[in-house]
Amino acid sequence: MIDTGDIDVFLGLDVGKGEHHATAVTPAGKKAFDKRLPNAEPKLRELFAKLQAKHGTVLVVVDQPASIGALPLAVARDMGCPVAYLPGLTMRRIADLYPGEAKTDAKDAFIIADAARAMPHTLRVIDGEDETIAELEMIVGFDDDLAGEATRVANRLHGLLTQIHPSLERALGPRLQHPAVLTLLERFGSPAQIRKAGRRRLVTLLRPKAPRMAERLVEDIFTALDEQTVTVPGTEAAALIVPSLAASLTAVLDQRKLLAGQIEELLEAHPLSKVLTSMPGVGVRTGARILIEVGDGSTFPTAAHLAAYAGLAPATRSSGSSIRGEQPSRRGNFPISMSSHCGERRRDLKRRLVSDHGP
């Protein structure tokens, strides 16, 4: 938890792309500043310096520590201001305690500042020294974009193949993202082109990408081709589109492979990498996400705090004598709470991450 005993003014920033709304409150709860300011270093420095000169130590709190909130935090650190982060989910819950239904930037900035003043336990520390996590967050975010693009292109390919030749889609669909299948579709975009190429040519084409699967895959393809004798309208148009989509999907998957190597290098540079990747079911990408969310765990006083934040702590349900027991929480900021890992693995992760390497 952040020690706010030496803080003279709490500055809440509801950050935005072009401008932020800044609200500063004193320890007594009185507003000391409440205006919009551009997302530019000179204006940020001017505000921080003004508050420091008039009040003393300024705690700068944002609702987004990355992306649009990165510059204010960097300027604040450079000027010697302590910084903190109020998670969005926590902020939404706190907002229910304030009167009114309106949602404005000014109200959000005040809530951030007032929560820092009155409820410092809700804040999370932002470690400005850990460049590894900052780089991981940026690369993992880009990887998320690529994953979405890969899914979109793959679904389009599935749809086209199903439309023109369902049997061929059933043969290729389960292996659609395999390099051999994508190579085939880049070269031959229609069932007629594939058949015309012949078995021997296809085996020669696919063997470098799939040495053990090439012959079996070609046999599966020709078996599928023999199941349909008619040509569905639109097949010729699909023959122009399929190679382009296959090339796009190949490029996206290659980018993801490159990013996976970079993510692995960054993760290995962090002291907690061995702890994270030693867990069953936790690979490089999941380990990176965990590290981005919880860091070294030092911001959580106990394992129970981390479990609650992750949505892994059981929620007690009790009402009279008819309803008694516990069930998994449906809340939590932690991505792993929505993963497919079984409960035992998640409990083991929480125990080892915090008990062995936490505070």
Domain boundary among 72, 102, 126: 126
> What percent of the chain is predicted at pLDDT more than 90?
56
Q: What is the CATH number of the domain that holds 210?
A: 1.10.287
Strands (DSSP E) found in 27-95: 31-38, 58-62, 83-85
pTM: 0.64
- Alpha-carbon distance of 290 to 283, in angstroms, equals 11
Question: What pLDDT was estimated at residue 328?
Answer: 62
Residue 79 has pLDDT above 80, yes or no: yes
Identify whether residues 92 and 107 lie together within a single domain: yes
pLDDT in tens, 217-270: 999 999 999 999 999 999 999 999 999 999 999 999 999 999 999 988 888 888
CB 182 within 8 A of CB 246: yes
Read off the pLDDT band of 355 (50, 70, 90): very low
Read off the pLDDT band of 114 (50, 70, 90): very high
**65 part of a folded domain:** yes
Q: Which two tokens stand for residue 90?
A: 């926590």
Identify whether residues 20 and 101 lie together within a single domain: yes
**4 part of a folded domain:** no
**332 part of a folded domain:** yes
Identify whether residues 139 and 260 lie together within a single domain: yes
Identify whether residues 307 and 256 lie together within a single domain: no
Average the pLDDT over 111-129 and give the result: 83
Identify whether residues 209 and 291 lie together within a single domain: no
Q: How many domains does the chain have?
A: 3
Domain region containing 336: 270-356
Domain boundary among 126, 151, 178: 126
Identify whether residues 153 and 247 lie together within a single domain: yes
Lowest mean pLDDT of 144-148, 165-169, 195-199, 340-344, name the range. Answer: 340-344
Name the residue with higher pLDDT: 330 or 203.
203
Domain boundary among 248, 265, 282: 265
Read off the pLDDT band of 345 (50, 70, 90): very low
Residue 350 has pLDDT above 50, yes or no: no
Identify whether residues 96 and 189 lie together within a single domain: no
Identify whether residues 140 and 260 lie together within a single domain: yes
HEC string of the chain?
CCCCCCCCEEEEEECCCCEEEEEEECCCCCEEEEEEEECCHHHHHHHHHHHHHHCCCEEEEECCCCHHHHHHHHHHHHCCCCEEECCHHHHHHHHCCCCCCCCCHHHHHHHHHHHHHHCHHHCEECCCCCHHHHHHHHHHHHHHHHHHHHHHHHHHHHHHHHHHCHHHHHHHHHHCCCHHHHHHHHHCCCHHHHHHHCHHHHHHHHCCCCCCCHHHHHHHHHHHHCCCCCCCCCHHHHHHHHHHHHHHHHHHHHHHHHHHHHHHHHHHCCCCHHHHHCCCCCCHHHHHHHHHHHCCCCCCCCHHHHHHHHCCCEEEEEECCCEEEEEECCCCCCHHHHCCCCHHHHHHHHHHHHHHCCC
Identify whether residues 193 and 121 lie together within a single domain: no
**274 part of a folded domain:** yes
H-state helical runs in 207-324: 214-225, 235-268, 273-277, 284-294, 303-310
Read off the pLDDT band of 1 (50, 70, 90): low
Identify whether residues 349 and 283 lie together within a single domain: yes
Question: What pLDDT was estimated at residue 287?
Answer: 84
pLDDT in tens, 12-29: 999 998 999 999 999 999
**1 part of a folded domain:** no
**139 part of a folded domain:** yes
Read off the pLDDT band of 337 (50, 70, 90): very low
Question: What pLDDT was estimated at residue 129?
Answer: 46
Identify whether residues 175 and 110 lie together within a single domain: no
* Averaged pLDDT score across all residues of the chain: 85
Q: What is the CATH number of the domain that holds 31?
A: 3.30.420.10
Identify whether residues 60 and 76 lie together within a single domain: yes
**55 part of a folded domain:** yes
CB 297 within 8 A of CB 270: no
Question: What pLDDT was estimated at residue 55?
Answer: 95
Question: What pLDDT was estimated at residue 358?
Answer: 41
**3 part of a folded domain:** no
